């Protein structure tokens, strides 16, 4: 998981992902996110949390992903699909979540300090 999270952080932040200007997230980044979201989380090391800080995941599909306790500081999730995503106890401090779809997302005990949720008009 560390290799995948590092890949996502580096690739999404390397100006390869234009976010708002792109119709969707780059395929390799989306594939890595899908693998992380579908992993057998019972195998996660107890002393290691998923760290996707500073990743640019605008318009990503994280539907149903298990990200409980993940470190998501300064992440760009603008217009991302977070339907049924488990974000319980996740650290979303300074996250950009404007326009994200949060239907049935579990945000209980999540840190949303200074998270930015801008409403988009279509």
Compute CA distances 108 → 27, 31, 68, whole Å. Answer: 30, 27, 10
pLDDT for 85-121, tens place per residue?
Answer: 999 999 999 999 999 999 999 999 999 999 987 655 4
The token duo for 23 is: 């119709």
Task: Determine the straight-line distance between the first and last CA of the chain, rounded to whole angstroms.
Answer: 36
User: 119 near 98, Cβ under 8 Å?
Assistant: yes
pLDDT for 15-32, tens place per residue?
Answer: 554 544 566 789 999 999
């Amino acid at each position: 998981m560390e290799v995948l999270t590092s890949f996502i952080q580096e690739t999404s932040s390397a100006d390869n992902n234009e976010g708002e200007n792109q119709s969707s997230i780059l395929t390799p980044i989306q594939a890595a996110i899908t693998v992380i979201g579908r992993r057998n989380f019972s195998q996660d090391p107890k002393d290691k949390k998923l760290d996707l800080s500073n990743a640019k995941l605008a318009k990503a599909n994280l539907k149903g992903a298990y990200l409980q306790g993940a470190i998501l500081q300064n992440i760009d999730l603008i217009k991302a699909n977070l339907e049924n995503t488990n974000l319980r106890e996740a650290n979303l401090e300074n996250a950009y979540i404007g326009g994200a779809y949060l239907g049935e997302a579990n945000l209980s005990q999540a840190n949303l300090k200074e998270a930015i949720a801008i409403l988009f008009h279509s």
